[in-house]
Amino acid sequence: MRSLSPALASLANVFRIPMSLTPVRPAVSRVCHETLSRQSAPTTAAVQTAPFSSTSTLAKRKGGGPQVDKRITLIRYFLYHPLTPRPLRFSRNRFLRHWTIHRAWQLFQAQQRKKQELELQRQYQSMQAACEELRTGAGDGGKLFRVSMNKKGVFTDLFPIEYARFQTESPAAEGWNYEWKRPEKKY
C-alpha cells in the first residue's frame, strides 16, 4: 500500500475513512449490498397481479410475508456494531456541571454581543450628534454640512484603498510603522 500525503491522511482520519486495505468492519457499501441482495427474494416473489394495485400481492395477503425493512436492518447493524463509538453519556452531576458551564458560556457570549452592540450604538449616535452640531451650530446655514454630505465622485474610478484591510472599530495603536524596511534577500 502506498503511503499517503500527510494532508490526505489527516483528512481521512478526520472523516474516519479506514486507511488499511483490510478494514475490520466491512465497507458500508458491501454490507448494504449483501443485505439487499439477501432480502430481495421476497420482493421478487411478490409480483403484482392486480393491475390497479400499488401493494404487492404478498403484502396484501393476510399475515403477509416477513415484514422486515431492510433499512432498519442496516441502521441496526451500524448502530450496534462494536466499532461504532458509544453514545455520549454523563452522570447526573457531570451533566449538571456541563450544563452550568454551557449556560455560563452562552451568557458570556450574550453579554459580549450586547456590549459590542451598545458600543456601536454609542459611536453612531455621537457621530450623528456631531453632524447635527455641524448642521446647526456652524453658523453658515448648514452649508458645510451639505458639502460634507455630498457623496459625488467618491467611488468613481477605483475601489478605495481603505477597504483593502480589515475594518476595525478603532484605529491601530501604532498607526504607521515608520521603521519598516524592505527585507533584503539573502542569496
Partner 1 sequence: MLQPRLLAPLRALKRAIGPAALSRQPLIPQPLLRTLSVPSILPKPPTSFSRTTTLSPLSQVRYASHAAQGASNKHSRDPAGKRLGAKRTGGEYVVPGCIIFRQRGTKWFPGENCGVGRDHTIFAKHAGYVRYYRDPQMHPDRKYIGVVFEKDEKLPHPRHLPTRRRLNMVAVPARPDSAAGQSDLMATIDETHGTRITSVQAVNAAEGPQLRPGYMYREANWQIGRAAEKAGIEAVPYDRNNRWLAWRKRKARADRAAQMKSLKGKKKAGKKAK
Partner 2 sequence: MAHCERASKPLLQCLRSNYSRSLAGVQRHGFHSTAVAADEKAPAESTSEPFYKSPDPSLVSSPRLERQLMRGGVNPIGSRRRRAALQGSSNLPFEELPYQCFQEARKILQADREEKLADIQKMEVRIANVEATPTEQMGEQAKKSKLPAMRIHLDKLKILADINDPLVKRKFEDGQGKGFDVSSFHATGINICDFATGDMSKPIYQYLADQKWREYRRKILVQRITQMKVIPDVLAKCDPVVDTRLYFGKHQIQPGEFVTAKTTTVPPKLDVQLFERGEKLVTIAVVDPDVPNVETDNFDYRTHFLAVNVPVSATATKVDLSQLSADSQVVLPWLPPVAQKGSPYHRLSLFILEQDGSKPLDFTAVKASETDRDAIRLRTLQRQYQLKAIGAHLFRTLWDDTTQEVMEQLGFEGADMELRRKKVEPLPYKRRNPSSFR
Binder of partner 1 out of 25, 32, 58, 64 (CB under 8 A): 32
Residue closer to partner 2, measured from CB, 11 or 110: 110
CB closer to partner 1 out of 66 and 160: 66
What, of partner 1, partner 2, none, does residue 105 touch, CB below 5 to 8 Å by kind? partner 2
Q: Tell which one of 16, 49, 51, 82 touches partner 1 (CB under 8 A).
A: 51
Q: What angle do CA 41, 43, 45 make, to 5 degrees?
A: 70
CA 32 to chain centre: 29
How many residues touch partner 2 (CB under 8 A)? Answer: 13
Min CB(113)–partner 2 separation in Å: 14
| Residues in 80-119 that interact with partner 2 by CB under 8 A | 92-93, 96-97, 99-101, 103-105, 107-108, 111
Phi–psi pair at 13, nearest 5 degrees: -65, -45
CB of 82 to partner 1, least distance (A): 20
Q: Which lies closer to partner 1 via its Cβ, residue 54 or residue 168?
A: 54
Among 16, 49, 54, 62, binds partner 1 (CB under 8 A): 54
Q: Closest distance between partner 1 and the C-beta of residue 1, in Å? A: 5
DSSP string, the chain: -PPPPHHHHHHHHHTT---SSS-SSPPHHHHHHHHHHHHHHHHHH----STT-SS-HHHHSTT-S----HHHHHHHHHHS-TTSPPPP---HHHHHHHHHHHHHHHHHHHHHHHHHHHHHHHHHHHHHHHHHHHHHHSSSTTHHHHHHH--TTSSSSS--GGGGS---SS--SS---TT--PPPP--
Residues lying near partner 1 in the complex (CB under 8 A): 1-2, 4-5, 7-8, 11-12, 15, 17-21, 23, 27-30, 32-33, 36-37, 40, 43-44, 50-55, 60, 70-71, 74
